[in-house]
Amino acid sequence: MHLHILGICGTFMGGLALIARAAGHRVTGCDAGVYPPMSTQLAEQGIELIEGFEADQLALKPDLFVIGNVVKRGNPLMEAILNSGARYVSGPQWLGDNILPGAHVLAVAGTHGKTTTSSMLAWILEQAGLRPNFLIGGVAPDLKVSARYQPDSRPFVIEADEYDTAFFDKRSKFVHYRPRTAILNNLEYDHADIFPDLAAIETQFHHLVRTIPSEGRIVLPAGDEALQRVLARGCWTPTVGIGAQGAWQAGEVRDDGAFTVLRDGRPAGEVRWMLGGEHNRMNALAALAAAEHVGVSPAAGIDALSRFGGVKRRMELRGTVRDVKVYDDFAHHPTAIATTIEGLRRQVGPARILAVLEPRSNTMKLGTMAARLPGALDGADLVFCYKTREGAMGWDPAEVLAPLGERAASFEDLQALVSAVAAAARPGDHILVMSNGGFGGVHGKLLDALAQTA
């Protein structure tokens, strides 16, 4: 079958394209901005990429158009598809109908930590010899790719996003996945461009819970109030708690980040790694609990996590110049920003943290959570905020960050921001860059500016 994928360079749709190719389909695709690294991965698999969404792509006459959620009404190719009566389907529905049936789907949902937890879980299953398939919204260096499909392998780890499926299907993506094992990492308000309030997101999670079989497993933090409200609406599946009062807990935590895993109150082993922060320990406990459901012993899971190297764009060290370290992190929600700064603070102690933030997600640009930013950034010594040009912002960073006083500055010119950060940096500092986009290549610009300053 020939599939033509619209929006192919997004992480999810690009991964879906790789899976479809591995399943034996002919795959072509298009996007506005065909760019690496996804374009490189796709080209290496013989997938033809077309720049833009012009209507003349209808002449390819694929058996099916697969539509990503970046595609809106008014898109020239989509309008041509609708007018011609050609067959089309959303990416999540195609995956759910054609790849996931018969698989043991392990879905990782939640507001924060989906990519990291999915990567941990896939790594544990890989090390246990289960050869999992997976589709993850990032790249863990240990796994090397973000998506993999082997038709003879049953476990399938998928990052289960609550964002909408397509312009013609406003359900969350994850309702198409029908998991047998589900991690519900946490739940709070996000995606203000899609959901009016937290209750609307809870409804989507309720729909997900309704699809999990009674012989399945739901893994969730024991004290998350929003998730407890979700389960109170109906739950037909055994649950396993993590964290305080849960069946899986973190015991003693060492200064180097290693921690003891407790299973039903008894030590099960020690995860020896360099990842910091309570959030990573919770991610690890969730991955261990989910892996146990497909037969991986706690000891084997703990051993695998001790060799887990992390995920790109999650506190990733991009370089060091004159003893100033520059990190890249995907944090863009106030809770994730605060957690990321707290995790780095535990690692570096009294050393200075210079937080560099681009609030470019749709939710942040709307200003729905702007009032929470001063508190989220309070753990940093200096704050530099960039007023992104990728769509209008509904608030003024200088005004919002005023409670931080002279510690905070905002910029509308990227080079001016880079110059200010480089001028402020001192040996021993840690520059933490946080954005869910490319941020104009600011990491490399900062390293170059630091070298020139030296």
Query: Is 237 labelled as part of a ligand binding site?
Result: no
Q: Which of the 8 DSSP states describes residue 354?
A: E
Query: Is 443 labelled as part of a ligand binding site?
Result: no
Query: Is 40 labelled as part of a ligand binding site?
Result: no
Distance CA 90, CA 96 (A): 10
Query: Is 332 labelled as part of a ligand binding site?
Result: no
Which whole-number Å values give the CA distances from 282 to 188, 246, 384, in the listed order? 16, 11, 29
Q: Which of the 8 DSSP states describes residue 113?
A: -
Contact 247, 235 (CB under 8 A): no
Residue holding tokens 């560099």?
356
Q: Which of the 8 DSSP states describes residue 223?
A: T
Alpha carbon 107 to chain centroid, angstroms = 13
Instruction: Tell me if residue 195 falls in helix, strand or coil.
Output: coil
Distance CA 341, CA 339 (A): 6
Query: Is 295 labelled as part of a ligand binding site?
Result: no
Query: Is 110 labelled as part of a ligand binding site?
Result: yes
Query: Is 301 labelled as part of a ligand binding site?
Result: no
Sign of the dihedral defined by the CA atoms of residues 61, 65, 71, 74, in that order: positive
Strand 353-357 to strand 430-434: parallel, antiparallel, or no bridges (unpaired)? Answer: parallel
Contact 124, 305 (CB under 8 A): yes
Give the residue numbers of the binding site for ATP.
Answer: 110-116
Give the residue numbers of the binding site.
Answer: 110-116
